[in-house]
Amino acid sequence: MSAGYPIDLHTHSTASDGALTPTELIARAAERGVRIQALADHDTLLGVAEAVVEGERRGVRVIPATELNTESEWGDVHVLAYFVDPRDSALEKRLRELRENRALRIEKMVMNLNGLGYPVSFDRVREIARGGSLGRPHLAEALFEAGHVTTYDSAFDTLISKGAPAYVPRVGLAPLEAVALVRERGGVPSLAHPGTAIDLERLLPLLVEKGLAGIECYYPSHTPEFTALCLRLSVRYGLVPTGGSDFHGRGDHGSDLGGVFVPPECIAALETHRSRD
Ligand SMILES: [Zn+2]
């Protein structure tokens, strides 16, 4: 805690499924004393430029990042990609494909919901997303707005989470591909909320072989025991322990910006993994 100010390496804006614009998000972070923040919108870097401008105004260092979600026999494996270049057109092309997959998946869930007697329109879901990378939080909001569920969170529980009737699995990158892609594009990959992966201790060495650099040890839903396990794994595999709030500004998930301890030394440690070209 030596830095004396909060760091948050996992946040979302309206560029994906967060509720605040990049400007609003950074302004809120600044008010909460955050001085270093990664904007890690799903499958997009389109919010980063705006966040950087606000960060410069407010004294918040914004680290460009994106979160790549994968779903496979390993469960939900999400990879945070730090220090990727928002102007990298080859990366943007891959991200655009992933966003198109996301939109198709949400469209299928809308069709399922309509078939199940919970009518929502895909156009309305898109409106709620305001041009952001589409995700289930937008769909949950549409369901809540249409009065099909009593709370935003219950939309997930009853209709659109894994095992619920309208759920459609994700298609796209496999976990090892996600890590490899981040490295290829000069970024620094960290495994987000490792608790959602299946068989973590078998998966981790495979990811490390592909170039995984970090593991998100500090996360709102982690128990002290799970954080301790992640820290032991970080030592075993030489991974940088990272952390963040996963703030979306929707529902009651997670914690507020800067609300999770993040070791200040992890920034420099991540930076040593950046490829210099
Ligand atoms: Zn996230």
Q: Give 32: exposed, middle or buried? Use CB within 10 Å, 0-12, 13-18, 19+.
A: middle
Residue 276: the pLDDT is 52
CA 252 – ligand 1 centroid, Å: 14
Render pLDDT for 17-47 as a digit per residue (tens, 0 to 9): 999 999 999 999 999 999 999 999 999 999 9
CA 117 – ligand 1 centroid, Å: 30
Separation between Cα atoms, residue 268 and residue 1, nearest integer Å: 15
CA 78 – ligand 1 centroid, Å: 8
Task: Categorize the per-residue pLDDT at 170 as very low, low, confident or very high, splitting at 50, 70 and 90.
Answer: confident
CA 11 – ligand 1 centroid, Å: 6
CA 249 – ligand 1 centroid, Å: 12
Helix/strand/coil (H/E/C) assignment for every residue in 184-202: HCCCEEEECCHHHECCHHH
Residue 254: the pLDDT is 67
CA 246 – ligand 1 centroid, Å: 5
State how beta strands 188-191 and 214-218 pair: parallel
pLDDT at 251 over 70: no
Residue 172: the pLDDT is 83
pLDDT at 252 over 80: no
CA 12 – ligand 1 centroid, Å: 7
Residue 171: the pLDDT is 81
Give the Å distances, CA to CA, from 249 to 21, 22, 81, 107: 10, 12, 21, 23
Two structure tokens written together for 181: 């892609």
Q: Span 117-140, mean pLDDT? A: 93
pLDDT at 175 over 50: yes
CA 206 – ligand 1 centroid, Å: 22
- Residue 45 phi/psi, 5-degree rounding, is -120, 15
Instruction: Pinpoint the alpha helices (H) of 117-199.
Output: 122-129, 136-145, 152-155, 175-184
Residue 3: the pLDDT is 57
Which sign, positive or negative, has the C-alpha torsion 109, 42, 6, 61? negative
CA 243 – ligand 1 centroid, Å: 11
CA 197 – ligand 1 centroid, Å: 14
Render pLDDT for 76-121 as a digit per residue (tens, 0 to 9): 999 999 999 999 999 999 999 999 999 999 999 999 999 999 999 9
Separation between Cα atoms, residue 65 and residue 187, nearest integer Å: 8
Q: What is the mean pLDDT of the chain?
A: 94
CA 247 – ligand 1 centroid, Å: 7
Rg of the chain over CA atoms, in angstroms? 18
Give the Å distances, CA to CA, from 258 to 7, 100, 197, 211, 225: 6, 31, 24, 27, 21
Residue 143: the pLDDT is 97
Q: Report pTM.
A: 0.89
3-state secondary structure of 141: helix
Separation between Cα atoms, residue 183 and residue 177, nearest integer Å: 10
pLDDT at 247 over 90: yes
Which residue is it, tokens 């290829």?
A: 184
CA 134 – ligand 1 centroid, Å: 13
Q: Span 55-73, mean pLDDT? A: 96
CA 76 – ligand 1 centroid, Å: 12
Which residue is it, tokens 């549409």?
A: 142
